[in-house]
Amino acid sequence: MNIFHDNMSKIKAPTQIIWGMHDKVTDPSGGEISAAAIPNSQLHMLEKCGHFIIMDSPRKSAKLLVEFHNSVCGKAETKKSI
């Protein structure tokens, strides 16, 4: 193991893991390993997606990021201009 893996269990912040099922740079099992090691994490494995999730699946990854942000931080209030 490396320093990152040895310390994943110490992460206390809500954590979102988005991984491409067809990642050829980092094995997709890394998503499952990370999710199992990081408490309070959620894993999303994206179909037809490689290492560059934002380029391979821009709409789905953006949707997941916004949903995660809203679940952790709440929805942003819309300010009305006068």
Question: Which string of DSSP letters, residue by residue, matches 33-74?
Answer: HHHHHSTTEEEEEETT--S-HHHHSHHHHHHHHHHHHHHHH-
Residue 80 lies in a domain: no
Residue 78 lies in a domain: no
Of 17, 65, 18, nearest in space to 37 by CA: 17
Strands (E) in the chain, as ranges, are 15-20, 41-46
pLDDT digits (tens, 9 = 90+) for 39-69: 999 999 999 999 999 999 999 999 999 999 9
Residue 32 lies in a domain: yes
1 has a pLDDT exceeding 60: no
Residue 35 lies in a domain: yes
Q: What is the pTM of this model?
A: 0.80
Cβ contacts of 74 within 8 Å, gap of 6 or more? none
pLDDT at position 5 is 78
pLDDT at position 60 is 96
pLDDT at position 82 is 53
Split into its structural domains, the chain has a count of: 1
